[in-house]
Structure 1
């Protein structure tokens, strides 16, 4: 199964019908274009595209967008709290775009260091990749971007107080425990962040 968020609404690509509000059988590129249009321009909250080979469908879907890769960290400290940043009114995990020829794990570590000021980080393992679609203006034209963020578990073994990277619009960096994540973060974060936290932490 593949999952991608469009306007914070989920598009799944699977090999069978699901309990999504709308299921669309894959019958070529038009099926994908219809699904994206519905999620962008109607109140439809979730769509499942289904067909015999989800990987082939995903590859076809990916051709509709300019692709950008990013990487980030799910960082725990000695007290089992998770490191969050607060940017533009929402809680988020530290992450950012890859630099040319940069490896995924190196990018994840660099972004966590830059956005939180913490350096004594131990990379543990790759968790998963989340995807979302957004639009931006390039040379006067609107371009649709498919952004894949590769997430890594990390451990912070130091004692420094994290510092927000103000120039990137980050106003707070906080360690938050599992119970507080449900109460404080989930009501005010992105669906991709909820997804990766639920997958990696079972919260």
Structure 2
């Protein structure tokens, strides 16, 4: 299953229909536009497109967009607090675009360091990959690779203001319920893993 968000609504690609959702059996690429149009112009929050060959469906879906890769981190400090940034009125996790010639892992560490002003992160396992579609000149599909990271330093967090980040802050897990009310659907998927 692939879950792709568009304006905080989910387009879910599966091998079999999900019975409780508006469902389209994949026949043509036009159905991707139809699904996005439904999410954009109706009150539905989720729609399902299914095809017996999920990888074929996913590859066809990807080919319809300008595809970008990003990477970021779920950083835990020695006090069992997690690193968040606040940008555009929402709590988020530090992440950014993978540069040409850069590995995804290197990009994940670099972006956390740049966006929060800290160094010497310990990269751990890949947690998940999230997807969302956004419009900038045309529709873009962005995959974000999320990694668990540890931080054992005591540097003062410095939010990257030129990226629109107003706050970089350590938060205990007890703050997650409040964060869930002020974050993105993709971030909720990541936080559910920790």
Superposition TM-score, scaled by structure 2 size? 0.96
The 5 Å alignment of 1:22-171 reads 22-137=22-137, 143-171=138-166
Who is 1:197 aligned against?
191
Q: Contact 1:21–1:44 at 8 Å: present in 2 too?
A: no
SS in 2 for 1:188: coil
Deviates more, 1:117-126 or 1:30-39: 30-39
SS in 1 for 2:57: helix
Question: What CA distance in whole angstroms lies between the structure 2 residues aligned with 1:115 and 1:20?
Answer: 40
CA displacement at 1:19 relative to structure 2: 4.6
Question: What CA distance in whole angstroms lies between the structure 1 residues aligned with 2:156 and 2:15?
Answer: 47
SS in 1 for 2:12: strand
Gaps of 5+ in 1: 138-142
Question: What CA distance in whole angstroms lies between the structure 2 residues aligned with 1:40 and 1:146?
Answer: 16
Are residues 19 and 157 of structure 1, via their aligned partners in 2, closer, same or farther at CA, if it must alter by over 3 Å? farther
SS in 2 for 1:62: helix
Q: Contact 1:74–1:83 at 8 Å: present in 2 too?
A: yes
CA displacement at 1:159 relative to structure 2: 1.2
Who is 2:168 aligned against?
173
Q: How large is the RMSD of aligned CA atoms in angstroms?
A: 1.1
Gaps of 5+ in 2: none
The number of residues matched between the two structures is 194
CA displacement at 1:32 relative to structure 2: 2.1
Q: Contact 1:20–1:47 at 8 Å: present in 2 too?
A: no
Q: 2:177 aligns with which of 165, 182, 187?
A: 182
Question: What CA distance in whole angstroms lies between the structure 1 residues aligned with 2:19 and 2:148?
Answer: 31
Question: What CA distance in whole angstroms lies between the structure 2 residues aligned with 1:126 and 1:47?
Answer: 27
